Amino acid sequence: MAMDTITIMTPPSYSLSDFQCHLSKYWQVESAYGDRIFIQEDDSRLYLYEDKNFKNLIKQEWACSQELRSFFDEAGDANFFLLDYSDLGFVKKVLPVIADNHRIVIDNEFGTVMRGNDFVEKLRTNSNWNWREKVN
């Protein structure tokens, strides 16, 4: 099954263990290959890991997104976590647990870049939102 990826940008103080702590309140968190963790529910699996080289790839987007410019003005630097998922319903359950925070920015890789708390609020108010549909 093909997986999509969400990028989660956090201030430098965040670590994978912070996410693991939040996730472990609802799911069993397991280690995967490398420095990845995963959770699963029924037949769905989700992977989360830090990508220390991602900053170089996303620099081009900084100038295009007001949300990213604002985030980096506040944070100064960032950690980048990638969340690989295939089941939209499952990831919609997970994001409120780990990303409902104004200090986090979510890039859904389909044209939406929002603060974590705004992204989660949009999920709550529009449960049918399919962010994998390209934004024009």
Structural contact between residues 118 and 112, judged by C-beta atoms closer than 8 angstroms: no
Q: Is the pLDDT of residue 59 over 60?
A: no
Chain centroid, CA 105 distance in Å: 8
**Mean pLDDT for the chain overall:** 85
Instruction: Kindly report, residue by residue over 77-110, the tens digit of the pLDDT.
Output: 788 899 999 999 999 999 999 999 999 989 888 8
Instruction: Kindly report, residue by residue over 41-53, the tens digit of the pLDDT.
Output: 998 999 999 988 7
Q: Looking at residue 42, which CATH number applies to its domain?
A: 3.30.310
Looking only at the bridges linking them, the beta strands covering 113-115 and 44-50 are unpaired
Provide the domain limits for residue 22. 4-125
Count of structural domains within the chain:
1
**What region, left, alpha or beta, does residue 126 occupy, with left being phi > 0 and alpha being psi -120 to 50 degrees?**
beta
Tokens of 6: 């969400």
